Amino acid sequence: MRKSRRRFMAEGQKSFQYVAVDAGGRRTKGMVAAWDDHAAFERLKRDGLSPITIRLADPGKDAASRETLGEKDLAALLGDLAALLRAGADMRTAFTILAARSTPSTRTIARAISDDVAGGEAIELAFSKRIPARFNFVGALIGAGDASSDISAGFERASDLLRARIKLREHFISIVSYPLFVLASTIIALSIIIFFVVPSLAPLVDGPQTKAPPILAVMIGVSTFATANFWTLALLLVAGCAAIWGVMRLGLLRGPLEALLLDGPVRRTVQGIVYGGFSVALGSMLAGGAPVGDSLRLAVRTVGMTRARARLEPVIAAVRQGQSLSAALDGVPGFPASVRRLATVGEASGSVGATIVRAGKFEEDEALQRLESAGRLLGPALIVILGGAIGLLMAGLLSGITQLGDTALQ
């Protein structure tokens, strides 16, 4: 089935640990497979490295098992592999070029994958074994491309899917960063007024012959209490944050929080992002030629919310029992109706994968537009609240200063 795959290394080679200097003068270290230390030296030289030390690796110690690839590094690795293979390079040449030009962690992973493939392991299994479990859909896309004799397309689809996820996350961060900055500025400004400005004026306007105005009196009371119990309040704040962190680590808040997000006031936006991302992953694997059952199983694993995964898992069993994908998705609570409708159209036209991808991207874009609109409103709203709070505080301070001046004149 995979006779066309070239094996570019022989079995029985040894693993050597090395320290070398790359073409840019940076020191790097990793593992290399070769017959002996001389062959390892020659291979490193071919990869553009200048070896400093080479020694036989201890059995059971695999540098690749300790290396991890982030989303961006993995997307870049897959995209580079797709480009090199489309340019006519064979697998050996592609991995050799990447091993010479990549970051140390990517270089180690690439060489480990190449060694596994050289030993006869399927390329999709070699990738799945060397990357984090949350990226298991990458192996499915690679396997689908390999089965269709267009493995570069599998690498490209996996890279595109990862880049889409990265872009979605960065867009979300850019939307919420401004309101969070304004909120933090509001808290800092109010804290400065309460802990520094009000205490300096309190002795002047709250004496035996003067009485502070109501607003300023409330401010002075709050400031006095906060200043006198500063360390107690700080300790309670730290303990509260630690308790919340511990509860979150134990997963006790996960269920109620996910229920609030998926079924609460912001359910349309959250469902669009969660189920839209699931639809994009599922459609990409189906378009790549992966079986429906495997595609569903891996697409469900890409969903981060436990509650959403529990709602999607029955779809796998329903499809295996012969139910159509669109009918199975119809039983998922809160699943976007547009994706279900387009899945029905795709099943009728024979292009369900591409259709579901388009529907999923549409849902993600709609959800992000709602978030962006909310962010544009929330930022100015927080600024108005900040201005109103500071204006109210300053009015109280100025009234106290005015009263102090009138008393002095009298």
Q: What per-residue confidence (pLDDT) applies to 11? A: 40
User: What's the number of domains the chain is made of?
Assistant: 2
* Better-scored residue on pLDDT, 78 or 37: 78
Q: Tell which residue, 100, 119, 120, has the closest CA to residue 110.
A: 100
* Better-scored residue on pLDDT, 15 or 291: 291
125 within a domain of the structure (yes/no): yes
* Better-scored residue on pLDDT, 259 or 144: 259
140 within a domain of the structure (yes/no): no
Count of residues in the chain: 410
> Is there a single domain that holds both residue 109 and residue 23?
yes
Is the pLDDT at 22 greater than 70, yes or no?
yes
> Is there a single domain that holds both residue 224 and residue 352?
yes
Q: How many CB atoms lie within 10 A of CB 395?
A: 13
Q: What per-residue confidence (pLDDT) applies to 406? A: 64
Q: Supply the range of the domain harboring residue 371.
A: 145-410
CATH code, domain carrying 320: 1.20.81.30
Mean pLDDT of 88-96: 81
Is the pLDDT at 5 greater than 50, yes or no?
no
CA distance 286 to 54: 45
pLDDT tier, 2 (very low <50, low <70, confident <90, very high otherwise):
very low
Would you state the structure tokens that stand for residue 205, as one six-digit string?
């306007």
Q: φ and ψ at 32, to 5 degrees?
A: -140, 140
Is the pLDDT at 382 greater than 50, yes or no?
yes
Would you state the structure tokens that stand for residue 386, as one six-digit string?
């900040």
Across 27-36, 133-142, 173-182, which has the greatest mean pLDDT?
173-182
> Is there a single domain that holds both residue 103 and residue 193?
no
Interval 121-130: pLDDT, tens = 777 777 877 7
Q: Tell which residue, 130, 10, 145, has the closest CA to residue 73.
A: 130
Q: φ and ψ at 198, to 5 degrees?
A: -65, -45
Instruction: Specify which residues 28 forms β-bridges with.
Output: 20
Which of 86, 104, 131 is the endpoint of a domain?
A: 131
Q: Tell which residue, 94, 175, 140, 127, has the closest CA to residue 302.
A: 140
303 within a domain of the structure (yes/no): yes
Q: What per-residue confidence (pLDDT) applies to 57? A: 63
7 within a domain of the structure (yes/no): no
> Is there a single domain that holds both residue 150 and residue 124?
no
> Is there a single domain that holds both residue 125 and residue 157?
no
279 within a domain of the structure (yes/no): yes
Pairing status of strand 50-56 against strand 14-21: antiparallel
- pTM check: above 0.85: no
Is the pLDDT at 212 greater than 80, yes or no?
no
Which of 99, 131, 163 is the endpoint of a domain?
A: 131
Which of 89, 104, 131 is the endpoint of a domain?
A: 131
Q: Tell which residue, 75, 64, 56, 67, has the closest CA to residue 15.
A: 56
Q: What per-residue confidence (pLDDT) applies to 236? A: 92
